[in-house]
Structure 1
Amino acid sequence: MDYIINTLVYADRHAKGEAQSEFLEDIKKLGADGVEARLEYFNDIKDEAPKFVKRAKELDLKINLSVPDELFVDGKVNPKLETYFKYGKMLKLNKIKFNTGDFAHFTGDLAHVLDALPEGIEFNVENDQTKLSGRSQHILTFLQSAKEAGLNVGYVYDIGNWLVTGEDPDIVAKKLAPYTRYIHLKNMTGIGNNTSATLDEGKINWRTPAAYFKTGTDVALEYPMSQFERRASELAVVKNVYK
């Protein structure tokens, strides 16, 4: 099992112009096993990737990538997919994740959608905060179809986004548990899409979904925290619940 820190945790430092590679030493000190980089946090991924990969390797941190884009656009495979996969190879990824998008109108050959995915990279889809990619039934339909087509596709359970889209996080956890390979933890204030300062301060009981997932499912923290002590204490609490 891996405990991951999504670089959204360092939103304040990113806003000041720091590169994601500058967060890696802190992530290691926290006792995490890896980093989830955000594609939108790279100013020039081709220029930044070598340094990022080199530093992560030095610190023995696994690398995941969050791509803020959809797998299907207007019922067709996203034309940018091959480019994203090239980035994945460049970053020597462990996992890459997308939003599902408009799979409902897809009429192509699903079996070949991931042909360009580099070997060794785990492919997952996540629920976002939209009607298109943030409905559990839409996601389940895609995951079932992908499985039938022989695709190795998993699911990233983002607990906070379910509050925004109006579905019960516990019910969804049980529903999508068979496909869940990765968990994103954050909590929400209940006002718009604002995250709470800590997991225990929000509207969601973030502990209860743990009972539905397989032991050893990877977990990431994905909410801004400006102080090391806060980051360390939040990760420690998570390690006691998600094992």
Structure 2
Amino acid sequence: MAQVVIPLNAFSDEKGLKKDIDFYITIIANSNANGIEIRKELLNSSSITHDLQKIHHTLKNHHLLTVYSAPIPLWKENYSLNEEGAQTAMEEAKQIEAKWLKLPLGHFDVQKSNLKPLTNLLDQYPTVRLLIENDQTREGGRINPLFQFFQQAEKQSVPVHMTFDVGNWVYTNENACDAAALLSPYVSYYHVKHVIPQNHRLLTVPINDGNKELWKEINDVYFSTVPKALEFPIFPDSPSINRYIEIINGDHAERVSS
């Protein structure tokens, strides 16, 4: 049975979170979830240090695997490491004692990007594990640049792994099954979502217990034991969270069939 993490954006809308983050931390802690993903974009940029101190204080009262996610590309448009941005994110992750920091790839070029500064940066933060996610951008959401990055990181023993977001491949018009086949050796965290076309745009909707959704097909083949994030709209209460955890772990289907 895989660990399940609840990202805070599962409870947000276009205006952000409706209640204080402490409220959501408590709900997640009282559910059957194992962890929480703190999203930098949902924090107040003018008081982020204070907000993180408060979050850290609340998290210390619970035993949750903590992931920190920041929309800061690892590589800049000139293909160099975004050292300032990555270090800031690392410091923020360290402040809340996050086990993982999740960043998008940005503009990596296998011929022009130097991984040595990344190794040096990661050496400064031995308690934080860096995960790179396929996002919804052309530079960071396509299979080839991500595969080249992880290949080079592996060759140079750079301690970085992947967050595989199954829904984001739909936004970048990439084949998620092909991506999983190629990138699964690098994946340590699986973002579950179900994306459908609606009114000429793509929409992320809650998963269900059917067998035809893409997330489940890929999960069963590649990621059944990998920690998972439930990144889709969830009503903020523990029973709702627990229901989706049952779907993820197959418990709901087993009970129905019996």
Q: TM-score, normalised by structure 1?
A: 0.90
- The 1-side partners of 2:8 and 2:144 are apart by 29
Q: CA deviation at 1:230?
A: 3.2
- The 2-side partners of 1:16 and 1:120 are apart by 29
Partner residue, 1:153: 160
Change (3 A) 1:149 1:142: same
- The 1-side partners of 2:120 and 2:16 are apart by 36
Structure 1 portions without partners, runs of 5+: none
Q: CA deviation at 1:162?
A: 1.0
- The 2-side partners of 1:201 and 1:160 are apart by 17
- The 2-side partners of 1:24 and 1:149 are apart by 38
Partner residue, 1:132: 139
Partner residue, 2:202: 193
- The 2-side partners of 1:215 and 1:114 are apart by 30
Does residue 1:81 correspond to 2:86, yes or no? Answer: yes
- The 1-side partners of 2:15 and 2:99 are apart by 23
Aligned residues of 1:70 and 1:98 also touching (Cα < 8 A): yes
Does residue 1:50 correspond to 2:47, yes or no? Answer: no
Partner residue, 1:32: 33
Aligned residues of 1:4 and 1:32 also touching (Cα < 8 A): yes
Does residue 1:121 correspond to 2:128, yes or no? Answer: yes
Aligned residues of 2:27 and 2:236 also touching (Cα < 8 A): no
Change (3 A) 1:213 1:202: closer
- The 1-side partners of 2:63 and 2:14 are apart by 22
Change (3 A) 1:124 1:36: same
Does residue 1:166 correspond to 2:173, yes or no? Answer: yes
Q: What SS does the corresponding residue of 1:86 show, helix, strand or coil?
A: helix
Q: CA deviation at 1:176?
A: 0.8
- The 2-side partners of 1:152 and 1:39 are apart by 23
- The 2-side partners of 1:53 and 1:150 are apart by 31
Change (3 A) 1:10 1:138: same
Deviates more, 1:196-205 or 1:106-115: 196-205
Q: CA deviation at 1:87?
A: 0.7
Q: What SS does the corresponding residue of 2:189 show, helix, strand or coil?
A: strand
Partner residue, 2:245: 235
Partner residue, 1:71: 74
Aligned residues of 1:190 and 1:202 also touching (Cα < 8 A): no
Aligned with 1:91 (options 78, 93, 96): 96
Q: What SS does the corresponding residue of 1:125 show, helix, strand or coil?
A: strand
Q: CA deviation at 1:51?
A: 2.1
Aligned residues of 1:134 and 1:161 also touching (Cα < 8 A): yes
Structure 2 portions without partners, runs of 5+: 252-258
Q: TM-score, normalised by structure 2?
A: 0.85
Partner residue, 1:220: 229
Change (3 A) 1:12 1:131: closer
Change (3 A) 1:64 1:106: farther
* Residues 177-202 of structure 1, C-alpha deviations (whole Å, 9 max, x = no match): 10010000010122433111334589
- The 2-side partners of 1:77 and 1:106 are apart by 13
